[in-house]
Amino acid sequence: MTERSFDAVKVFPRYTAPATAVSLNDSQVSAEVSGVIASISVKPGDEVSAGDVLVKLDCRDHQLDAQVPEARLEAANAERDLARYRSQRADALRKKGAMPLEQYQQRKAAASRSQAEVRRLQAVVKESRRKVGKCDITAPFPAVVVTRYASVGELAKPGMRLLRLVDTRAIEVSSQVQEQDLGTLRAADSTRFVSRSFTYPVNLRTVVPVLDRRVSSYEVRLEFSGRLPSPGQSGRLEWRATQPHIPADLLVQRNGTLGVFLAKDGHARFHALPGAEPGQPAAADLAGGAQVIVDGRHGLDDGQAIDQVER
- How far apart are the C-alpha atoms of 161 and 47, rounded to whole Å? 19
Q: Specify the pLDDT at position 97.
A: 85
Mean pLDDT, to the nearest integer, of 82-104? 90
Q: What's the pLDDT at 56?
A: 97
Q: What is the pLDDT of residue 301?
A: 86
What pLDDT shows up at residue 293? Answer: 86
Q: Percentage of the chain surpassing pLDDT 70?
A: 98
Instruction: Compute the average pLDDT of residues 226-230.
Output: 91
Confidence of residue 311 (pLDDT cuts 50, 70, 90): very low
Q: 43-47, 103-107, 155-159 — which is least confidently predicted?
A: 103-107
Name the most confidently modeled range: 36-40, 105-109, 131-135, 225-229. Answer: 36-40
User: Residue 57: pLDDT above 70?
Assistant: yes
Mean pLDDT over residues 62-73, rounded? 91
Burial 281-300 (b: 16+ CB within 10 A, else e): bbbbebeeebbbbbebbeeb
CA torsion through residues 244, 248, 252, 253, sign:
positive
Residue 309 has pLDDT above 80, yes or no: no
| Average predicted confidence (pLDDT) for the chain | 92
Mean pLDDT of 219-245: 94
> What's the pLDDT score for residue 201?
96
Confidence of residue 299 (pLDDT cuts 50, 70, 90): confident
Q: Phi then psi for 262, rounded to 5 degrees?
A: -115, 145
Q: Does domain 28-57+135-167 have CATH number 3.40.30.10?
A: no
% of the chain surpassing 90 pLDDT:
73
Contacts for 234 with CB less than 8 Å, ≥ 6 apart = 18, 19, 20, 21, 195
When pLDDT is averaged across residues 168-179 and rounded to a whole number, the result is 95
Q: What is the DSSP string of the chain?
A: -EEEEHHHH-B--EEEEEEEEEES-EEEEE-SS-EEEEEE---TT-EE-TT-EEEEE--HHHHHHHHHHHHHHHHHHHHHHHHHHHHHHHHHHHHHT-S-HHHHHHHHHHHHHHHHHHHHHHHHHHHHHHHHHTTEEE-SSSEEEEEE---TT-EE-TT-EEEEEEESSSEEEEEEEEGGGHHHHHH-S-EEEEETTEEEEEEEEEEEEEEETTTTEEEEEEEESS----TT-EEEEEEE-SS-EE-GGG-EEETTEEEEEEEETTEEEEEE-TT--TTS-EE----TT-EEEEETGGG--TT-B----B-
Which of 38-42, 131-135, 270-274 is the most confident on average?
Answer: 38-42
> Tell me, what's the pLDDT at 231?
92
Span 208-229, average pLDDT: 93
Give the model's pLDDT for residue 94. Answer: 86
Tens of pLDDT, residue by residue over 257-278, are: 999 999 998 889 999 998 888 8
Q: For 216-242, what is the mean pLDDT?
A: 94
The fold for domain 60-133 equals Helix Hairpins (1.10.287)
**Is the pLDDT confidence value at 310 over 60?**
no
Question: Check: CATH 3.20.20.70 for 14-24+169-240?
Answer: no
Tell me: the pLDDT tens digits for 6-38? Answer: 899 999 999 999 999 999 999 999 999 999 999
Q: Pick the residue with more confidence: 311 or 63? A: 63
